Amino acid sequence: MNTGADSSHLCLVLGGARSGKSKLAFMLAGQVVPKAFVATGEAGDEEMAARIRKHQEDRDPAWETREIPIDVSGWLKTHGAAYKTIIVDCLTLWLSNLLSSGIQASQIPVYTDELMQAARMVPGTVVLVSNEMGMGIVPGDAMTRQFRDVAGIMNQRVAAAADAVYVSVSGLPVKLK
């Protein structure tokens, strides 16, 4: 698959923690250059810093890494046309960053739709990675339940707009759309 995202312009890859979703995103993105990796995660603690370092070490150096914790839409609008392939990893951390910055949960659909509009403007392939959080146990506190619910709504909106949707389960890809 070296044409990018299964010949789809906009692709969503879902999965749980350590499910292989990032690996699948790289496979779908293919070898088309120039290519950008938009990282939304921030190293808030040593464990997260170690995760980020591991991802950086594992990434092919041909990927230009951009760390964009919040304004992914703005970056795509401004810089997206310069790349044939873009991976945004991950939307769940982007959501967390938005909420932590003071954006209200009720505004997330607006930000999600803006992201999808910006991704559609990119002439190349955009692969979005997100966590599927709705298949686990019901969280024990209201804040975590709300986050899970908002993430689920975000993922539904992204999936509806995407040309292709995959879920990675135990490293095995399943095409949903």
Catalytic residues: 55
- In sequence order, which residues have a C-beta less than 8 Å from that of residue 170 and are 6 or more positions away? 19, 20
- Residue pair 117/154 in contact by the 8 Å Cβ criterion: no
**Helix (H/G/I), strand (E/B), else coil: 170:** coil
- Residue pair 130/158 in contact by the 8 Å Cβ criterion: yes
d(CA 6, CA 129): 15
d(CA 41, CA 27): 21
Element (DSSP H or E) covering residue 82? none
Element (DSSP H or E) covering residue 53? helix 46-58
Bridge partners, 14 (sequence order): 130, 167
